[in-house]
Structure formats: C-alpha cells, structure tokens
Amino acid sequence: MTTRHDHDHEDPSVHSFILSGREAVFGYHLAMFGMAEHRYQVVLGYDLPADIVDRYLKDRADHPESWHAVRNTEDMVLPPIGDGTVTEYPARLDRVTQTGNGEDRVWEPISGGFTARIQRVLTFRRFSEEDFPAHLTYLLYGAGDEAHLAHRLVKRPHYEQIITLRRVPSGVTAADLAGAVEVTLPSVPDGGHGGQPWTTRPLPDGSYPALLHRGPGSPVPITLDLGDERWWNITTLNS
C-alpha cells in the first residue's frame, strides 16, 4: 500500500530514468512540471547488474527506434536519492517506444526485478521560479570517451531532450563530465520560445559552438558534435 511521506506533500510514485551510455550507464529522470513528486531534474550514474546492462545494450541494438529506462517497482519519492540516504532501489528494465512529441508511449518490461544501485548523483535540482535562459542550455555528462547532453529544464513550456555526442569535446575534462556541467549554445535562443512549446527539435545541425560554464571563471569555448538522440518529449513534461 502506498503511504504518504512528508516531502513537500509528495506522494511516493513511479519514476522512470532514461538510459544512456555503454561503458558507464546513466539515468535521466523523466520530469513533470505539474506534479510535485516529479518536479525534479535528476541525472544518476548507475551501477547495474551485468546481465541487465547486457540486456539493455542488446535490446538497444535490436530496437534502435526505442529508448530504455530503469523504472522502480516499489513507489518512492526522490529527495532521499538527492541527499544520499537512498542509494539503491528495486527496479525493472523497460523498452520505451513513443510517437511524435510523446503523445503515445508504450512501456514494455524486458527484465525481471533487480536492484538499481546508484553509483553517484550528478545533478539533483527541484524546479523553482527561474527565468528562461537567453540561449539553449544543456547539462553535459558522461565518462571515458562518452558524453551526453540533457536539456536544462526551467518551467513550462520547455522540452526534454537527451543526445549522445559523437565524441567528447576537446577541452572537456573527466571532472566536467562527472559534474554534469552546464553548456550554452549562443547561436540558439531559448527565452521561453514565445510561450509556446517546441514542436520540432531545436538543433537540426550536426555541430554547434558552445560555451562550457566551469565554476566562476570565464566560459570555455567547445564544439558539440551531435550523435544519437536518446529522448525527446514535450507532452507529459508540460502537463
């Protein structure tokens, strides 16, 4: 039976984390602006069982049109993950297939139950009343020779997007990737998009100049070479 916990009146719920990475596997929490328990942007580094990683990678190769997610099998709230008091939870592996901007989704369990262990929390942020940034802003994270981007969320109307880069940009360090640093794209405005949700991907080109924001110093110019998209959604996020 689900019980109510005192985390700003958040109900324990199901939370799906979209996977990216091969050698190191990361999970990105699917957020919802309209529900308190999902009003978080979270990126985790997972330590998943070897057989689950193998199944994820094989199924990803067999179903390139779909994405994959770790989904908890017992309802939970997210703040204990953010403060480090919860470092593992019971889960399953799902194949996720969606149409259009996320209007229809099919979640297919492709594993039995396992323990999802959290190796580290790269970012954990509860949404607040921020202004929209002037330019598109992403979180850059990864490990080794893999790097991923996740659009930094602010408020409605925004979009979720995860992209794996073709290569780690020159000038990006292992510490940058481990810290999910912010990068901005000066050539692409955000600014709230005129109050309307994005309905098409905002990055149609293969490469973009960007600025990496590492601490209080001057931003570092880098180049983002875009590879596979790991997720895109505007519907449930903005509901």
Burial class (CB in 10 A: 0-12, 13-18, 19+), 72: middle
Q: What local confidence, expressed as pLDDT, does residue 32 receive? A: 96
pLDDT tens, position by position, for the chain (239 residues)?
233 334 457 999 999 999 999 999 999 999 999 999 999 999 999 999 999 999 999 999 999 999 999 999 999 999 999 999 999 999 999 999 988 888 889 999 999 999 999 999 999 999 998 999 999 999 999 999 999 999 999 999 999 999 999 999 999 999 999 999 999 999 999 999 999 989 999 999 999 999 999 988 899 999 999 999 999 999 999 98
Using only C-alpha atoms, the chain has a radius of gyration, in whole angstroms, of: 17
Q: What is the pTM of this model?
A: 0.94
Which among 16, 34, 20, 5 has a CA at the least distance from the CA of 139?
Answer: 20
Q: What is the pLDDT of residues 49-71, one digit of tens each?
A: 999 999 999 999 999 999 999 99
d(CA 153, CA 132): 9
CA end-to-end span of the chain: 26
Which pLDDT does position 5 carry in this prediction? 38
C-alpha of 95 from chain center: 16
User: What beta strand segments (E) does 65-113 contain?
Assistant: 67-72, 88-99, 104-109
CA dihedral 127, 128, 130, 132 (to 10 degrees): 30
